[in-house]
Structure 1
Amino acid sequence: MTERQVPIRAMVVDDETPGRLNLRYALAGFPEWQLLAECSSAEQARAQWAVSPCDVAFLDIQMPGESGLKLARELSALAHPPVIVFVTAYERYAVEAFEAHALDYLLKPFDDERLAQTLARASSMLALRQGSYAEVLRRSLEAIETPASSYLDRITVRSVGAIESVDLGDIHFLSASGNYVSLHLEHRIVLHRATLSHMATLLDPRTFIRVHRSYLVRRQQMQQLRVTGDGTYALTLRNGSQVAVSSRYVDAVRAVLTLS
């Protein structure tokens, strides 16, 4: 991959003056970034884009008239949309939804370290705009606005310089790794930025079952349960893996094995 030429051109869209000023002053500390425009509405941002498209758009979500999500949907329809970073004061549960779909965000108020992380991610994603980013952005925006009663059928995973859509049908089990989850596929493991507890709310319980605070397992992968100690259990999967089962979930695991 060739190294990107600077500057990275940015646009800030926020109906509140303090929000625009905060990002202006914060971005001034990063010489490779150029702030092209500060817009107070989606309409103003649309006009600015027609004159001078940007590389990265920082969009406030809650704005009078058109929301940042609505503007993002419009930008996602472009052949080469900007990398989208949502700037939000949303509650944490809503922010986790962004993480599950690899949409980056800044949670107000943010500090210099968090901004630097976001800028680094945005910079690494610019190379994807010519290929997969537009499609991934469209899918992610559709998913983020799907009613809560619907479950994921794929997970969008972002890493440095790459973005991947993982089909739920390819995942054997998920394990907790701090603020990340490991997606265990047939021949590899993919690290995804989300908590296991949040992923449990996004996956169909008819397909995945919680067997431990650290594991979610595909029901079809469950093969054998055995006792490993006083109140401890291990579940053998059809792919040969073994995961711990806690006493809290052992009855549910036995029920699945009995019916399978």
Structure 2
Amino acid sequence: MTAIRALIVDDEEPGRINLRYALAEHAAWEVAVECASAAAARAALAAPDGHGIAVVFLDIQMPQESGLALARELAQREEPPLIIFVTAYDAHAVEAFEVHALDYLLKPFDDQRFAQTLERARAMLAQRQRAGYGAALRAYALPQPDYWRQLSVRSVGRIESVQLEDVLWMEAAGNYVELRLATRRVLHRVTLSRLQQHLDPACYVRVHRSAIVRATQIASLAANGDGSYQAALRCGDTVSVSERYLAAVKALLQR
């Protein structure tokens, strides 16, 4: 089997060494080249044998040019190499990567986390998902609109772009959100509260600590015998409405 060729980009030598040793434990992987800067990585990818590099382990914080800047550039390619971001402390970047289905390694990472990352990359390459990955990378790396219009949903070896306008309502499921579409349900790794921060409040309304509904989906509101409320949705579903969000739902129905 042909080895998966990887490029390591980290301005700190210990970081490069750690990744090199970690990859050496996986026979299906090969370190093609190590670079200490984004400029050196750009040159390596442009070299004749650079076209065979399938995965880039990319540090975020580097002097002169950040890893994010290089990612934005690579995002313009039709089939960019898979990018696995590496970070020591940038929590905001980690959250963004999770939401946009881009993998990351948080320093220091353990063997199990590293193996999971390699498996995701291997599965994506095996299923020829690099075109879909490229679209997801562009969605993150390029300037974003004020509110999100789509989500890049990741599963093993696959990335799917879900348009938020197709989501009728969404329900919390631990650290995931279950997106309810007209004919199916999609599980996305993000908390409901974090997702709400990026939704247009004119289009989506929080009705419960565990549910957000597209405003146009709310058809009516009914009180239960125990004093609780439920909203009937145009798709046929019913959703509990908590007292905290009751006034907002009533105001919506009075428009």
Letter in 1 for 2:138: R
Q: Is 1:98–2:97 an aligned residue pair?
A: yes
Q: What is the aligned partner in structure 2 of residue 79 from structure 1?
A: 78
Deviations 1:192-245 (A, max 9, x none): 111111100011111111111111110000112222354522211100111121
Q: What is the aligned partner in structure 2 of residue 48 from structure 1?
A: 44
1:218 to 214, 220, 224: 214
Distance across 2 between alignment mates of 1:229 and 1:11: 63
Secondary structure, aligned partner of 1:234:
strand
Distance across 1 between alignment mates of 2:92 and 2:66: 19
Q: What is the aligned partner in structure 2 of residue 132 from structure 1?
A: 132
Change (3 A) 1:229 1:13: farther
Unaligned stretches of 5+ in structure 2?
Answer: none
Letter in 1 for 2:144: T
Secondary structure, aligned partner of 1:248:
helix
Distance across 2 between alignment mates of 1:77 and 1:129: 16
Contact 1:82 1:129 in 2 (8 A): no
Distance across 2 between alignment mates of 1:79 and 1:171: 28
Secondary structure, aligned partner of 2:251:
helix
Length, aligned pairs only: 251
Deviations 1:32-82 (A, max 9, x none): 111112211011111222233211001111111111111112222223310
1:185 to 181, 188, 202: 181
Q: What is the aligned partner in structure 2 of residue 113 from structure 1?
A: 112
Query: Given the two structures, how large is their TM-score scaled by the length of structure 1?
Result: 0.90
Change (3 A) 1:166 1:250: same
Deviations 1:173-194 (A, max 9, x none): 1111111111111100111111
Deviations 1:156-182 (A, max 9, x none): 112123221111110001111111111
Distance across 1 between alignment mates of 2:129 and 2:249: 44
Q: Is 1:239–2:222 an aligned residue pair?
A: no
Query: Given the two structures, how large is their TM-score scaled by the length of structure 2?
Result: 0.92
Structure 1 segments, 4+ long, off by >6 Å, are: none
Q: What is the aligned partner in structure 2 of residue 164 from structure 1?
A: 160
Q: What is the aligned partner in structure 2 of residue 69 from structure 1?
A: 68
Change (3 A) 1:140 1:93: closer
Contact 2:87 2:104 in 1 (8 A): yes
Distance across 2 between alignment mates of 1:79 and 1:239: 37
Unaligned stretches of 5+ in structure 1?
Answer: none
Q: What is the aligned partner in structure 1 of residue 247 from structure 2?
A: 251
Secondary structure, aligned partner of 1:138:
helix
The sequence identity of aligned pairs, in percent, is 55
Distance across 2 between alignment mates of 1:206 and 1:157: 24
Letter in 2 for 1:56: V
